[in-house]
Amino acid sequence: MYFKTIHLGDDMKKETILQFDTSVARKKPNSVHRKSLCPFCESGGLAEILDTHDSIILVKNKYPVLDDAFQTVLIETDECESELSEYPKSHLYKVIRFGMEKWLKMEEEDRFESVLFFKNHGPLSGGSIRHPHMQIIGLNNVNYRDNLTEDYFIGLEIHSSNGVQLNLSTKPMIGFTEFNIVLDDLDQIEQAADYIQKSVHYVVHHFNGRGCSSYNLFFYHWIGKIFIKIVPRYATTPLYVGYGLRQVFRNPQDLIDEMTKHYF
């Protein structure tokens, strides 16, 4: 019996590992998995406020769990039990525009190698606070783009309008269902916001015939475009955890037809 030597090429994606501070994480409140007072409902208890727009507040993260990073929280609304899919259009547009402006402005700072902009919602999303919020995190030494490939954002078109496309990923990052929104004109933020809201509403209320309680929303600024990814979250498949094997459903057109029936 022998083991064959496998030679790895030089074109592998760059691996990046972030350092996570468990001593800080232990102090974080958690209103998703256990009863806890909401830290975002009392503005007097917030960390340093960086900017505001109506009921939207950008603050420094009171519990910065990542080393070599500047971590902020964007509180989307003063309504603790609300959710992005429920926002009236006027507030939806304000939230997405405000968040994207702050994210892209932070990107211009020389101290950051790259800046993350994302949202967790629900018990399987990785979030700990129920109150609607997003996070903008400047990474001092890590460029998230090193681990991207264009395949992650290519898919079967669900709908397109005003130069913005919504598609169902055919080569997802993790597997199964990932919605992508692609735009290259910041004047079309409202169209992108509409697609975000429709996708999130579908995930929460209709996905797999019964809806999904958790999702992530990710933003990427890369190769001259803005990419947005919406991911329904369940327990991650062991084939991906153990082997990095991604899976997709064999009948993607069924999902596209259902989503089109509900929203387009």
Chain Cα centroid distance, residue 145: 15
Q: Flag whether 13 is in a domain.
A: no
Q: Which domain holds residue 62?
A: 22-145
Structure tokens at 30: 């958690």
Those residues whose C-beta lies under 8 Å from the C-beta of residue 238, and which sit 6 or more positions away, are: none
Identify whether 215 is part of a domain: yes
Kindly report the pTM of this predicted structure. 0.91
30-63 pLDDT, tens digit per residue, is 666 566 778 788 766 787 999 999 999 999 998 8
Mean pLDDT over each residue of the chain, to the nearest integer: 90
Res 122: pLDDT? 81
CATH number, domain with residue 174: 3.30.428.10
For residue 4, is it within any domain? Answer: no
Instruction: Sort strands 215-222 and 179-183 into parallel, antiparallel or unpaired.
Output: unpaired
In 3D space, the residue among 83, 87, 78, 74 whose CA is nearest the CA of residue 116 turns out to be 74
Q: Are 91 and 204 contained in the same domain?
A: no
Asked whether residue 97 falls in the same domain as residue 193, the answer is no
AA identity, residue 59? V
Same domain, 232 and 208: yes
193, 100: one domain: no
* 135: three-class secondary structure by DSSP: strand
- Total domain count for the chain? 2
Does 11 fall in a domain? no
pLDDT tens profile 98-151: 999 999 999 999 999 999 999 998 877 767 677 889 999 999 999 999 999 999
- Of 127, 145, 163, the domain-final residue: 145
In this structure, are 73 and 125 located in the same domain?
A: yes
Q: What is the mean pLDDT of residues 200-213?
A: 94
In-domain check, residue 221: yes
